[in-house]
Structure 1
Amino acid sequence: MSKLNFKGSVMLNPAPVVLVTSKSLSGKINIFTVAWISTVCTKEPIIAMGIRPERLSYKYITESNECVINLPTTSMVKIVDYCGVVSGKKEDKIKHFNLELNKGVKVDTPSLEKSPIALECKVQSITPLGTHDLFLFKVLNVKIDENLLDSKNKICFDKANLICYSHGEYYGLTSKSLGSFGYSIKKKSKRK
């Protein structure tokens, strides 16, 4: 296979895409789209996110020291795109889409009722990097739509119809699994 070389660039694709709600000290709520986000630690649960300092949500998050990460579904793709290109400085995007908010449990910032999964977060640290600052968020609480739980209370993410972002395009995630964690080393049971 022949490969071409490109200058150093951020080409980690596909990426999760999320809608982040934030709240100013004066009580204004904003929502914006983020695709530069990743899990970086499980204990304590920490998520990393890159945010440009000129974004309105940057201001709100640094003021309140919190946010909510809402996982969007395929039916929310227009909202995801719109909230990624329209500034909250110019328009109230929550009002534009008539989005219903859900009161926070561990934070004062609300989540999106329409989102099946919402992670309530507190800022752990902020590191300036260049065009973006790196935020580390500690996840304090996760809200899960009860329709995503099976009879054993296992979360079935495949039922959520979540989306991802890849090089300027949005994609739905298939519900068909390619394998489960550890499947490549599991021993086949001997038949008796």
Structure 2
Amino acid sequence: MKQSIKPNTLAMPTPVWCVGSYDKNGKPNVMTIAWGGICCSAPPMLTVSLRKATYTYGSIMERGAYTVSIPSAKHAAEADYFGIASGKNSDKFAVSGLTPVRSDVVDAPYVEEFPLIFECKVVETVELGLHTQFVGEIVGIKADEDILNEKGMPMMGAVNPIVFAHATREYRGIGGVVGSGFKIGKKFME
């Protein structure tokens, strides 16, 4: 039997995405978020939701751009640090030893050591309550060559991304393939 739980942010999993921005003085900053996702396919758009109290919020509002750097499991500690420290009080890149790189298509930095990067131009902001959702058009994608398949597409197994379980505050890896999309469900159509 199912048990009722008080409404909460328990959907799982959520992404572990590192959002890059420049502050008003041009200092690169990065913040880990879990509230984000793809929201449109044509044009391709990606959303991130931030609280106004975050340092990154003001930077994105001012610059109108952000990047999303997707960390591999080997950088879980750095990604966690990016989410618990404030760029207002520390230089997260210097402390973590990771490298900020200026995007050549948007006014925001990305994390060099992370294998997959999305460069986004803000096209809309939506006030949702405690969070503001930034809707960004994906105007560029950068990927390490060794994560791409023969068709030039990123392979999840090579990226080795992590996800976050909000209810238990755990970072988790992603398991193996369980089936082919748009194929395994066809058995119900016969």
TM-score exceeds 0.5: yes
2:12 alignment partner in structure 1 = 13
Q: Write out aligned runs for 1:20-169 (5 A).
A: 20-167=19-166, 168-169=169-170
Q: Which amino acid aligns with 2:58?
A: K
Q: Using the alignment, how far apart are the partners of 2:89 and 2:154 within structure 1? A: 38
Q: Using the alignment, how far apart are the partners of 1:118 and 1:166 within structure 2? A: 22
Q: Which amino acid aligns with 2:150?
A: S
Structure 2: runs of 5 or more not aligned: none
Q: Which amino acid aligns with 2:120?
A: C
Question: What secondary structure sits across from 2:93 in the alignment?
Answer: helix
Does residue 172 of the first structure (1) align with residue 173 of the second (2)?
A: yes
Q: What TM-score results when the alignment is normalised by the length of structure 1? A: 0.91
Question: 1:153, CA displacement in angstroms?
Answer: 2.5
Q: Using the alignment, how far apart are the partners of 1:10 and 1:146 within structure 2? A: 35
Question: What secondary structure sits across from 1:154 in the alignment?
Answer: coil
The percent of aligned pairs where both chains have the same amino acid is 31
Question: What secondary structure sits across from 1:126 in the alignment?
Answer: strand
Question: 1:103, CA displacement in angstroms?
Answer: 2.8
Question: 1:46, CA displacement in angstroms?
Answer: 1.0
Runs of 4+, deviation exceeding 4 Å? none
Question: 1:98, CA displacement in angstroms?
Answer: 1.9
Q: Using the alignment, how far apart are the partners of 2:152 and 2:136 within structure 1? A: 26
Q: Using the alignment, how far apart are the partners of 1:147 and 1:134 within structure 2? A: 32
Q: Deviations over 1:107-157 (max 9, x none)?
A: 131211111000000111111111111111111000011001233323322
State the structure with more CA Rg: 1
Quote the RMSD (CA, aligned, Å). 1.4
